[in-house]
């Protein structure tokens, strides 16, 4: 199964205001245009294997990817999700640290790695934005450590739904009011693997959140959230500090 190339205009990009190029001026965007290309992947397809040489870096435009790590005995652990606008790859590092797999159909905006690194050195807008994104990723990793180490099963499920819903809302220029809805990118089995729970526990807690009116479900994937603040409370998060992303 091979990835294939697609084309998309920067002006139509749904992640433009959150991506690594968010602060770029017209001339800087033109320079990026010379080194970028788009790729699409089918759900389940590997974007890159851990240890492979990285020839590109880039951003998730649409869809979700999973970061996983495999131990020597074959055990695998999902260690992160890449949501729209998240950056893939590490400038200055020649090989991939994790497997990256498309969880849903995926479109990525890719930049040839060496020219991107050269452009970073002379374009403060890109370097500053990438630093901000890296710090956001560090905050998210620390939050995830808390989730896995201290939160209850119910809080874990609520947290995961909240993370996906908040990111989807953040991609909109104006924050949506009222009920939010989101399509979960993970199956129940994948949610269990990601959260360190059993499949039965995930299903039971999803049903409990639905019964208590925290969420409503259409099918297995489509989730409606009547009150985001209540969902954040169920997640064990402080809901009065604004929207976290």
Q: Does residue 144 lie within any of the structural domains?
A: no
Kindly give, in sequence order, each residue whose CB lies less than 8 Å from that of residue 216, ignoring residues fewer than 6 positions away: 210, 223, 224, 226
> Are residues 223 and 180 in contact, defined by beta-carbon separation less than 8 angstroms?
no
Q: Are residues 113 and 192 both part of a single domain? A: no
pLDDT digits (tens, 9 = 90+) for 96-112: 999 999 999 999 999 99
> Are residues 91 and 130 in contact, defined by beta-carbon separation less than 8 angstroms?
yes
Is the pTM higher than 0.85? The answer reads no
Q: Does residue 136 lie within any of the structural domains?
A: no
Number of residues assigned to the chain: 245
Phi, psi of 235 (to 5 degrees): -80, -5
Q: Does residue 55 lie within any of the structural domains?
A: yes
Q: Does residue 117 lie within any of the structural domains?
A: yes
Q: Are residues 24 and 118 both part of a single domain? A: yes
Last residue of a domain, one of 64, 92, 126: 126
Q: Are residues 84 and 176 both part of a single domain? A: no
Q: Does residue 58 lie within any of the structural domains?
A: yes
Q: Are residues 18 and 105 both part of a single domain? A: yes
Phi, psi of 163 (to 5 degrees): -60, -45
Structural domain count of the chain? 2
Q: Does residue 146 lie within any of the structural domains?
A: no
Strand 106-112, strand 36-41: pairing = antiparallel
Q: Are residues 71 and 120 both part of a single domain? A: yes
> Are residues 203 and 133 in contact, defined by beta-carbon separation less than 8 angstroms?
no
Q: Are residues 112 and 11 both part of a single domain? A: yes
What is the DSSP secondary-structure string of 132-169?
HHHHHHHHHHHHHHHHHHH--HHHHHHHHHHHHHHHHH
Structure tokens at 77: 């652990």
Q: Are residues 44 and 119 both part of a single domain? A: yes
Q: Which residues pair with 181 in a beta bridge?
A: 224
Q: Are residues 120 and 8 both part of a single domain? A: yes
Q: Are residues 65 and 98 both part of a single domain? A: yes
Q: Does residue 132 lie within any of the structural domains?
A: no
Q: Are residues 212 and 110 both part of a single domain? A: no
Q: Are residues 28 and 78 both part of a single domain? A: yes
pLDDT digits (tens, 9 = 90+) for 1-25: 444 555 566 767 888 888 899 888 8
From first to last of the 245 residues of the chain, give the pLDDT tens digit: 444 555 566 767 888 888 899 888 888 888 898 999 999 999 999 999 999 999 999 999 999 999 998 888 888 888 888 999 999 998 889 999 999 999 999 999 999 999 999 999 988 889 999 999 999 888 888 888 888 889 999 999 999 999 888 888 777 655 556 678 888 888 899 899 889 899 999 999 999 999 999 999 988 788 999 998 999 999 987 544 444 44
* CATH value at residue 197: 1.10.10.10
- Which range marks the domain in which residue 64 is found? 4-126
* CATH value at residue 23: 2.60.120.10
Question: % helix / strand / coil in the chain, to the nearest 5?
Answer: 40, 25, 40
End-to-end CA distance of the chain: give it in Å, rounded. Answer: 33
Q: Are residues 208 and 113 both part of a single domain? A: no
Q: Does residue 201 lie within any of the structural domains?
A: yes
């Amino acid at each position: 199964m091979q990835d294939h190339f697609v084309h998309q205009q920067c002006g139509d990009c749904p992640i433009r205001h959150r991506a690594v190029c968010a602060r770029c001026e017209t001339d800087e965007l033109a320079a990026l245009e010379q080194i970028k290309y788009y790729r699409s992947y089918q759900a389940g397809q590997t974007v890159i294997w851990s240890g492979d040489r990285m020839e590109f870096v880039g951003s998730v435009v649409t869809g979700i990817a999973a970061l996983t790590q495999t131990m020597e005995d074959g055990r695998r652990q999902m260690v992160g999700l890449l949501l729209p606008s998240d950056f893939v790859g590490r400038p200055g590092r020649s090989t991939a640290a994790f497997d990256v797999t498309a969880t849903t159909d995926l479109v990525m905006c890719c930049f040839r790695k060496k020219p991107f690194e050269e452009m970073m050195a002379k374009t403060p807008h890109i370097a500053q934005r990438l630093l901000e994104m890296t710090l956001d990723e560090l905050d998210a990793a620390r939050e995830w450590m808390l989730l896995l180490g201290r939160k209850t099963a119910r809080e874990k499920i609520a947290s995961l739904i909240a993370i996906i819903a908040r990111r989807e809302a953040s991609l909109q220029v104006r924050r949506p009011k009222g009920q939010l809805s989101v399509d979960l990118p993970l199956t129940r089995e994948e949610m269990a693997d990601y959260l360190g729970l059993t499949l039965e526990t995930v299903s039971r807690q999803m049903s409990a959140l639905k019964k208590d009116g925290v969420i409503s479900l259409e099918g297995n994937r489509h989730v409606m959230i009547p009150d985001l603040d209540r969902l954040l409370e169920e997640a064990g998060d402080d809901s009065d500090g604004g929207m976290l992303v």
